[in-house]
Amino acid sequence: MEMILENARVVLPDRLIEGWVAVRGGLIEALGSGPAPARGLDLAGDILIPGLVELHTDNLEGHVRPRPKVRWHLPSAVLAYDAQLASAGITTVFDSLRVGSEDNDTLGAETLDLAEAIAQAQAAQMLRAEHFTHLRCEICTHDVVEGTRAFLERYPVQLLSLMDHTPGQRQFRDVEKLLVYYRGKGRPEEELQAFVADKKRRQADFGQAHRDALVALARGRGIALASHDDATLEEVAQAKADGASVAEFPVTLEAAQAARASGIAVLMGAPNLVRGGSHSGNIAAIELAEAGHLDILSSDYVPGSLIQGAFELTQRLPQIALPAAIATVTDAPARAAGLTDRGRIAPGLRADFVRVRLVGPQPVVRSVWRQGERVA
Protein backbone atom coordinates (compact mmCIF):
# COMPACT_ATOMS: atom_id res chain seq x y z
CA MET A 1 0.00 0.00 0.00
CA GLU A 2 1.40 3.35 -1.08
CA MET A 3 -0.09 5.41 1.72
CA ILE A 4 -1.92 4.83 4.99
CA LEU A 5 -3.74 7.57 6.86
CA GLU A 6 -4.19 6.43 10.45
CA ASN A 7 -5.57 7.61 13.77
CA ALA A 8 -8.36 9.50 12.05
CA ARG A 9 -12.07 9.98 12.56
CA VAL A 10 -13.16 8.76 9.15
CA VAL A 11 -16.52 9.94 7.79
CA LEU A 12 -18.10 7.05 5.90
CA PRO A 13 -21.40 7.33 4.00
CA ASP A 14 -23.44 6.10 6.95
CA ARG A 15 -21.26 6.45 10.05
CA LEU A 16 -18.13 7.84 11.67
CA ILE A 17 -15.31 5.46 12.64
CA GLU A 18 -12.00 5.88 14.44
CA GLY A 19 -9.56 4.15 12.19
CA TRP A 20 -7.49 4.21 9.02
CA VAL A 21 -7.60 4.34 5.22
CA ALA A 22 -5.07 2.75 2.84
CA VAL A 23 -4.36 3.96 -0.71
CA ARG A 24 -2.90 2.24 -3.75
CA GLY A 25 -2.70 3.58 -7.31
CA GLY A 26 -4.71 6.69 -6.50
CA LEU A 27 -7.64 4.61 -5.21
CA ILE A 28 -8.83 3.59 -1.78
CA GLU A 29 -7.47 0.10 -1.21
CA ALA A 30 -8.95 -0.66 2.22
CA LEU A 31 -10.15 0.92 5.44
CA GLY A 32 -10.99 -0.16 8.94
CA SER A 33 -11.54 0.70 12.57
CA GLY A 34 -8.85 0.70 15.22
CA PRO A 35 -5.09 0.49 14.63
CA ALA A 36 -3.85 0.43 11.03
CA PRO A 37 -2.24 -2.77 9.63
CA ALA A 38 1.02 -0.82 9.17
CA ARG A 39 2.38 2.53 10.25
CA GLY A 40 1.24 5.49 8.20
CA LEU A 41 0.62 9.21 8.48
CA ASP A 42 -0.81 9.90 11.95
CA LEU A 43 -3.76 12.31 11.63
CA ALA A 44 -3.83 12.83 15.40
CA GLY A 45 -7.57 12.28 15.67
CA ASP A 46 -8.51 14.79 12.97
CA ILE A 47 -11.60 14.23 10.81
CA LEU A 48 -11.05 12.67 7.36
CA ILE A 49 -13.74 13.36 4.75
CA PRO A 50 -13.95 12.84 0.98
CA GLY A 51 -12.65 15.60 -1.28
CA LEU A 52 -15.29 18.26 -1.83
CA VAL A 53 -17.18 18.39 -5.13
CA GLU A 54 -18.18 21.88 -6.29
CA LEU A 55 -20.83 22.18 -9.01
CA HIS A 56 -21.23 25.95 -9.29
CA THR A 57 -18.57 28.53 -8.52
CA ASP A 58 -18.37 32.09 -9.82
CA ASN A 59 -15.09 32.67 -7.99
CA LEU A 60 -12.93 32.62 -11.12
CA GLU A 61 -14.43 35.94 -12.21
CA GLY A 62 -12.91 37.77 -9.25
CA HIS A 63 -9.45 36.51 -10.17
CA VAL A 64 -9.85 37.55 -13.81
CA ARG A 65 -11.24 41.00 -12.96
CA PRO A 66 -9.69 41.81 -9.55
CA ARG A 67 -10.58 45.50 -10.05
CA PRO A 68 -12.82 47.43 -12.46
CA LYS A 69 -11.16 47.82 -15.86
CA VAL A 70 -8.36 45.41 -14.86
CA ARG A 71 -8.04 42.14 -16.80
CA TRP A 72 -5.54 39.88 -15.09
CA HIS A 73 -3.19 37.48 -16.86
CA LEU A 74 -5.45 34.48 -17.48
CA PRO A 75 -3.02 31.61 -16.72
CA SER A 76 -2.06 33.30 -13.46
CA ALA A 77 -5.71 33.92 -12.62
CA VAL A 78 -6.54 30.25 -13.22
CA LEU A 79 -3.66 29.07 -11.01
CA ALA A 80 -4.63 31.39 -8.16
CA TYR A 81 -8.28 30.35 -8.44
CA ASP A 82 -7.36 26.66 -8.45
CA ALA A 83 -5.06 27.04 -5.44
CA GLN A 84 -7.82 28.78 -3.48
CA LEU A 85 -10.24 25.96 -4.27
CA ALA A 86 -7.78 23.24 -3.24
CA SER A 87 -6.90 24.98 0.01
CA ALA A 88 -10.63 24.99 0.81
CA GLY A 89 -10.77 21.19 0.34
CA ILE A 90 -12.30 21.20 -3.16
CA THR A 91 -10.77 18.41 -5.27
CA THR A 92 -13.39 18.40 -8.05
CA VAL A 93 -14.76 21.64 -9.46
CA PHE A 94 -17.19 22.56 -12.20
CA ASP A 95 -15.98 25.92 -13.47
CA SER A 96 -19.02 28.10 -14.13
CA LEU A 97 -18.43 29.86 -17.45
CA ARG A 98 -21.04 32.18 -18.94
CA VAL A 99 -22.51 32.18 -22.42
CA GLY A 100 -24.86 34.88 -23.70
CA SER A 101 -23.86 38.52 -24.26
CA GLU A 102 -25.17 41.12 -21.86
CA ASP A 103 -24.67 44.89 -22.12
CA ASN A 104 -21.09 45.81 -21.18
CA ASP A 105 -20.37 42.18 -20.36
CA THR A 106 -16.62 41.66 -20.75
CA LEU A 107 -16.43 38.37 -18.85
CA GLY A 108 -19.03 36.74 -21.05
CA ALA A 109 -16.99 37.69 -24.10
CA GLU A 110 -13.92 36.03 -22.57
CA THR A 111 -15.53 32.64 -21.97
CA LEU A 112 -13.57 30.83 -24.70
CA ASP A 113 -10.32 32.43 -23.51
CA LEU A 114 -11.00 31.26 -19.96
CA ALA A 115 -11.83 27.75 -21.12
CA GLU A 116 -8.59 27.60 -23.09
CA ALA A 117 -6.52 28.80 -20.13
CA ILE A 118 -8.07 26.14 -17.88
CA ALA A 119 -7.67 23.41 -20.49
CA GLN A 120 -4.00 24.23 -21.06
CA ALA A 121 -3.25 24.33 -17.34
CA GLN A 122 -5.01 21.03 -16.76
CA ALA A 123 -3.25 19.35 -19.71
CA ALA A 124 0.10 20.50 -18.30
CA GLN A 125 -0.82 19.06 -14.88
CA MET A 126 -0.51 22.49 -13.30
CA LEU A 127 -3.80 22.31 -11.39
CA ARG A 128 -4.47 20.90 -7.93
CA ALA A 129 -8.19 20.17 -8.37
CA GLU A 130 -9.78 18.31 -11.26
CA HIS A 131 -11.72 20.76 -13.43
CA PHE A 132 -14.91 20.20 -15.39
CA THR A 133 -17.11 22.76 -17.15
CA HIS A 134 -20.46 24.09 -16.03
CA LEU A 135 -21.80 26.25 -18.86
CA ARG A 136 -24.19 28.91 -17.56
CA CYS A 137 -26.51 29.87 -20.42
CA GLU A 138 -28.47 33.13 -20.16
CA ILE A 139 -31.40 32.11 -22.35
CA CYS A 140 -32.77 35.63 -22.99
CA THR A 141 -29.66 36.89 -24.77
CA HIS A 142 -29.53 37.08 -28.55
CA ASP A 143 -26.39 34.97 -29.07
CA VAL A 144 -26.63 32.28 -26.36
CA VAL A 145 -27.42 29.38 -28.71
CA GLU A 146 -24.71 30.39 -31.17
CA GLY A 147 -22.23 30.86 -28.33
CA THR A 148 -23.06 27.49 -26.79
CA ARG A 149 -22.61 25.70 -30.10
CA ALA A 150 -19.24 27.41 -30.60
CA PHE A 151 -18.14 26.37 -27.10
CA LEU A 152 -19.25 22.76 -27.56
CA GLU A 153 -17.27 22.52 -30.77
CA ARG A 154 -14.05 23.23 -28.85
CA TYR A 155 -14.50 22.02 -25.27
CA PRO A 156 -16.34 19.29 -23.36
CA VAL A 157 -19.18 20.37 -21.07
CA GLN A 158 -20.41 18.22 -18.20
CA LEU A 159 -23.17 20.48 -16.81
CA LEU A 160 -25.34 23.13 -18.48
CA SER A 161 -27.66 25.45 -16.59
CA LEU A 162 -30.61 27.38 -18.04
CA MET A 163 -30.68 30.86 -16.54
CA ASP A 164 -33.29 33.59 -16.92
CA HIS A 165 -32.74 36.75 -14.89
CA THR A 166 -35.67 38.70 -16.32
CA PRO A 167 -37.10 41.15 -13.73
CA GLY A 168 -40.43 40.11 -12.28
CA GLN A 169 -39.82 36.37 -11.97
CA ARG A 170 -37.49 33.74 -10.50
CA GLN A 171 -34.65 35.37 -8.54
CA PHE A 172 -35.98 38.86 -9.23
CA ARG A 173 -39.68 38.36 -8.52
CA ASP A 174 -39.65 41.63 -6.59
CA VAL A 175 -38.68 44.18 -9.25
CA GLU A 176 -38.39 46.94 -6.67
CA LYS A 177 -35.56 45.12 -4.87
CA LEU A 178 -33.70 44.87 -8.15
CA LEU A 179 -34.21 48.57 -8.80
CA VAL A 180 -32.95 49.46 -5.33
CA TYR A 181 -29.76 47.54 -6.11
CA TYR A 182 -29.16 49.45 -9.36
CA ARG A 183 -30.14 52.78 -7.85
CA GLY A 184 -27.35 52.22 -5.38
CA LYS A 185 -24.99 52.19 -8.36
CA GLY A 186 -26.23 55.64 -9.38
CA ARG A 187 -28.24 54.69 -12.47
CA PRO A 188 -30.95 57.25 -13.42
CA GLU A 189 -34.59 56.24 -12.98
CA GLU A 190 -35.47 56.57 -16.66
CA GLU A 191 -32.56 54.33 -17.56
CA LEU A 192 -33.67 51.73 -15.00
CA GLN A 193 -37.22 51.60 -16.34
CA ALA A 194 -35.88 51.19 -19.87
CA PHE A 195 -33.57 48.44 -18.59
CA VAL A 196 -36.49 46.47 -17.11
CA ALA A 197 -38.60 46.92 -20.25
CA ASP A 198 -35.72 45.74 -22.45
CA LYS A 199 -35.17 42.64 -20.31
CA LYS A 200 -38.83 41.70 -20.58
CA ARG A 201 -38.80 42.27 -24.34
CA ARG A 202 -35.80 39.98 -24.71
CA GLN A 203 -37.53 37.26 -22.76
CA ALA A 204 -40.56 37.47 -25.03
CA ASP A 205 -38.35 37.40 -28.13
CA PHE A 206 -35.85 34.72 -27.13
CA GLY A 207 -36.72 32.94 -23.89
CA GLN A 208 -38.65 29.83 -24.82
CA ALA A 209 -37.05 29.26 -28.24
CA HIS A 210 -33.56 29.47 -26.81
CA ARG A 211 -34.44 27.24 -23.89
CA ASP A 212 -35.75 24.56 -26.25
CA ALA A 213 -32.64 24.79 -28.45
CA LEU A 214 -30.26 24.52 -25.49
CA VAL A 215 -32.11 21.54 -24.02
CA ALA A 216 -31.84 19.80 -27.40
CA LEU A 217 -28.09 20.50 -27.54
CA ALA A 218 -27.58 19.10 -24.04
CA ARG A 219 -29.65 15.99 -24.71
CA GLY A 220 -27.83 15.31 -27.95
CA ARG A 221 -24.49 15.29 -26.15
CA GLY A 222 -25.51 13.63 -22.89
CA ILE A 223 -24.82 16.77 -20.84
CA ALA A 224 -26.43 17.01 -17.40
CA LEU A 225 -28.94 19.87 -17.12
CA ALA A 226 -29.62 22.27 -14.26
CA SER A 227 -32.55 24.62 -13.81
CA HIS A 228 -31.89 27.95 -12.12
CA ASP A 229 -33.84 30.04 -9.60
CA ASP A 230 -37.11 28.09 -9.87
CA ALA A 231 -39.89 29.86 -7.98
CA THR A 232 -43.17 28.22 -9.05
CA LEU A 233 -44.58 24.76 -9.61
CA GLU A 234 -44.83 25.56 -13.32
CA GLU A 235 -41.12 26.34 -13.50
CA VAL A 236 -40.27 23.07 -11.75
CA ALA A 237 -42.54 21.19 -14.14
CA GLN A 238 -40.64 22.78 -17.03
CA ALA A 239 -37.33 21.70 -15.47
CA LYS A 240 -38.60 18.15 -15.11
CA ALA A 241 -39.78 18.09 -18.72
CA ASP A 242 -36.37 19.36 -19.82
CA GLY A 243 -34.68 16.50 -17.93
CA ALA A 244 -32.88 18.59 -15.32
CA SER A 245 -31.00 16.64 -12.65
CA VAL A 246 -30.20 19.69 -10.48
CA ALA A 247 -32.33 22.62 -9.31
CA GLU A 248 -29.91 25.46 -8.58
CA PHE A 249 -30.98 27.95 -5.92
CA PRO A 250 -34.78 27.51 -5.88
CA VAL A 251 -36.20 30.70 -4.41
CA THR A 252 -39.32 29.30 -2.71
CA LEU A 253 -40.11 26.39 -0.44
CA GLU A 254 -42.78 25.07 -2.81
CA ALA A 255 -40.32 25.00 -5.72
CA ALA A 256 -37.71 23.09 -3.70
CA GLN A 257 -40.30 20.62 -2.44
CA ALA A 258 -41.63 20.03 -5.95
CA ALA A 259 -38.13 19.58 -7.36
CA ARG A 260 -37.25 16.87 -4.85
CA ALA A 261 -40.59 15.16 -5.44
CA SER A 262 -39.69 15.12 -9.15
CA GLY A 263 -36.32 13.47 -8.48
CA ILE A 264 -34.33 16.68 -9.05
CA ALA A 265 -31.55 17.36 -6.55
CA VAL A 266 -31.87 20.74 -4.80
CA LEU A 267 -28.71 22.85 -4.67
CA MET A 268 -28.37 25.90 -2.44
CA GLY A 269 -25.54 28.33 -1.80
CA ALA A 270 -23.31 27.69 1.19
CA PRO A 271 -22.85 31.48 1.60
CA ASN A 272 -26.63 31.67 2.07
CA LEU A 273 -26.34 29.10 4.87
CA VAL A 274 -23.30 30.67 6.53
CA ARG A 275 -24.71 34.21 6.34
CA GLY A 276 -28.10 33.09 7.60
CA GLY A 277 -30.10 34.05 4.53
CA SER A 278 -30.21 35.00 0.87
CA HIS A 279 -28.53 38.26 -0.14
CA SER A 280 -31.40 38.85 -2.60
CA GLY A 281 -34.17 38.25 -0.09
CA ASN A 282 -35.26 34.79 -1.24
CA ILE A 283 -35.65 31.67 0.89
CA ALA A 284 -32.85 30.78 3.31
CA ALA A 285 -30.91 27.57 2.77
CA ILE A 286 -31.36 26.62 6.42
CA GLU A 287 -35.15 26.68 5.95
CA LEU A 288 -34.88 24.12 3.15
CA ALA A 289 -32.54 22.00 5.27
CA GLU A 290 -35.01 22.08 8.17
CA ALA A 291 -37.78 20.98 5.82
CA GLY A 292 -35.64 18.15 4.41
CA HIS A 293 -35.44 19.71 0.94
CA LEU A 294 -31.69 20.38 0.67
CA ASP A 295 -29.44 17.93 -1.19
CA ILE A 296 -26.35 19.86 -2.32
CA LEU A 297 -24.38 22.87 -1.15
CA SER A 298 -22.33 25.05 -3.51
CA SER A 299 -19.68 27.57 -2.54
CA ASP A 300 -21.00 29.93 -5.26
CA TYR A 301 -18.79 32.99 -4.74
CA VAL A 302 -16.87 31.99 -1.54
CA PRO A 303 -14.82 28.75 -1.85
CA GLY A 304 -14.29 28.43 1.91
CA SER A 305 -18.03 28.49 2.55
CA LEU A 306 -18.44 24.93 1.25
CA ILE A 307 -16.78 23.12 4.15
CA GLN A 308 -18.01 25.77 6.58
CA GLY A 309 -21.60 25.22 5.46
CA ALA A 310 -21.41 21.45 5.76
CA PHE A 311 -20.25 21.58 9.38
CA GLU A 312 -22.73 24.36 10.22
CA LEU A 313 -25.56 22.08 9.10
CA THR A 314 -24.74 19.69 11.95
CA GLN A 315 -24.31 22.55 14.43
CA ARG A 316 -27.57 24.31 13.58
CA LEU A 317 -29.65 21.19 12.96
CA PRO A 318 -28.63 18.38 15.36
CA GLN A 319 -30.95 15.99 13.51
CA ILE A 320 -28.51 16.09 10.58
CA ALA A 321 -25.64 13.74 11.37
CA LEU A 322 -22.12 14.49 10.13
CA PRO A 323 -22.15 11.85 7.31
CA ALA A 324 -25.36 13.34 5.89
CA ALA A 325 -24.00 16.88 6.12
CA ILE A 326 -20.74 15.93 4.44
CA ALA A 327 -22.68 14.17 1.67
CA THR A 328 -24.14 17.54 0.60
CA VAL A 329 -20.66 18.64 -0.50
CA THR A 330 -19.27 15.28 -1.68
CA ASP A 331 -21.48 12.36 -2.65
CA ALA A 332 -24.66 14.23 -3.62
CA PRO A 333 -23.02 16.68 -6.07
CA ALA A 334 -20.89 13.90 -7.55
CA ARG A 335 -23.93 11.75 -8.21
CA ALA A 336 -25.97 14.64 -9.62
CA ALA A 337 -23.20 15.27 -12.14
CA GLY A 338 -22.88 11.59 -13.04
CA LEU A 339 -19.53 11.04 -11.30
CA THR A 340 -19.65 7.64 -9.62
CA ASP A 341 -15.93 7.26 -8.86
CA ARG A 342 -15.70 9.81 -6.01
CA GLY A 343 -17.61 11.51 -3.21
CA ARG A 344 -17.38 8.72 -0.63
CA ILE A 345 -14.67 6.99 1.35
CA ALA A 346 -15.09 3.42 0.17
CA PRO A 347 -12.78 0.78 -1.36
CA GLY A 348 -12.32 1.20 -5.11
CA LEU A 349 -13.16 4.90 -5.22
CA ARG A 350 -10.73 7.75 -5.78
CA ALA A 351 -8.44 8.63 -2.92
CA ASP A 352 -9.66 12.24 -2.64
CA PHE A 353 -9.50 13.32 1.00
CA VAL A 354 -9.64 16.38 3.22
CA ARG A 355 -8.14 16.38 6.70
CA VAL A 356 -10.19 18.68 8.92
CA ARG A 357 -9.59 19.83 12.48
CA LEU A 358 -12.40 21.44 14.44
CA VAL A 359 -11.27 24.42 16.49
CA GLY A 360 -14.39 25.10 18.51
CA PRO A 361 -17.12 25.15 15.87
CA GLN A 362 -14.70 26.21 13.11
CA PRO A 363 -13.56 23.56 10.59
CA VAL A 364 -9.94 24.10 9.56
CA VAL A 365 -8.61 22.38 6.43
CA ARG A 366 -5.18 20.97 7.30
CA SER A 367 -4.36 18.74 4.32
CA VAL A 368 -5.91 17.80 0.97
CA TRP A 369 -5.18 14.81 -1.30
CA ARG A 370 -6.40 14.14 -4.83
CA GLN A 371 -6.02 10.57 -6.08
CA GLY A 372 -3.62 9.92 -3.22
CA GLU A 373 -1.37 12.88 -3.99
CA ARG A 374 -1.06 15.77 -1.57
CA VAL A 375 -2.29 18.97 -3.28
CA ALA A 376 -2.74 21.32 -0.30
Structural domains for the chain? 51-341 (3.20.20.140)
Distances in Å between the Cα of 3 and the Cα atoms of 28, 120, 268, 326, 371 are 10, 30, 35, 23, 11
How many alpha carbons lie under 13 Å from residue 284 in its C-beta half-sphere? Answer: 10
**DSSP β-ladder status, 27-33 and 16-24:** antiparallel
Give strand pairing partners of 364: 357
Phi, psi of 181 (to 5 degrees): -60, -50
CA distance 365 to 376: 9
pTM of the model: 0.91
Q: What is the DSSP letter of 170?
A: G
222: three-class secondary structure by DSSP? coil
Q: What is the rounded CA–CA span in Å between residue 349 and residue 351?
A: 6
Question: Reduced to 3 states, what is the DSSP secondary structure of residue 357?
Answer: strand
Q: List Cα–Cα distances, 42 to 4, 18, 21, 50, 154, in angstroms.
A: 9, 12, 11, 17, 45
pLDDT by position in tens, the chain (length 376): 699 999 999 999 999 999 999 999 999 999 999 999 999 999 999 999 999 999 999 889 889 988 888 889 999 999 999 999 999 999 999 999 999 877 655 445 688 999 999 999 999 999 999 999 999 999 988 899 999 999 999 999 999 999 987 765 566 666 666 666 666 666 777 777 777 777 778 887 888 899 999 999 999 999 999 999 999 999 999 999 999 999 999 999 999 999 999 999 999 999 999 998 776 668 999 999 999 999 999 999 999 999 999 999 999 999 999 999 999 999 999 999 999 999 999 999 999 999 999 999 999 999 999 999 999 9
Given a contact cutoff of 8 angstroms between Cβ atoms, the answer to whether 343 and 328 are in contact is no
